[in-house]
Amino acid sequence: MALNRVRDKAEYLSLPVPVDTESGDPLVIGDLPCVALTDRNSEGESTVQTNGSFAFSITAGADIDVGDILYLTGGGAFTHDPSGNDRFGYALEAIANGNTATIEVKIGY
């Protein structure tokens, strides 16, 4: 057995997060997509989850189909556009262009 294993599963981590991070916020820390499970504490950290799926309210700037890659903008909105945005995960439900809906999004890629 490997003696250098730190965690069996690294799906829940305490990591430094941006100011004003609240439980339920989608984040990309470095290149790691995750969701805050706790509000940011006085040490500047939050417990985050790095896998699974979560429900997010999304306004579609173009049709979103099941399986589409979603990117997170610096303002915390989801988009299809990779330019200057961080890859977050996959849509598990569809939304027509211009509509706003709460859909399930799978973290990761």
Rounded Cα distance, 94 and 8, in Å: 34
Per-residue pLDDT of the chain (109 residues; tens, 9 = 90+): 688 877 777 899 999 999 999 999 999 999 999 999 999 999 999 999 999 999 999 999 999 999 999 999 999 999 999 999 999 999 999 999 999 999 999 999 8
**In terms of residues, how long is the chain?**
109
Coil, strand or helix: which one is 30?
coil
What's the CA angle centered on 57, arms 36 and 63, to 5 degrees? Answer: 125
pTM for this one? 0.91
Rounded Cα distance, 106 and 69, in Å: 10
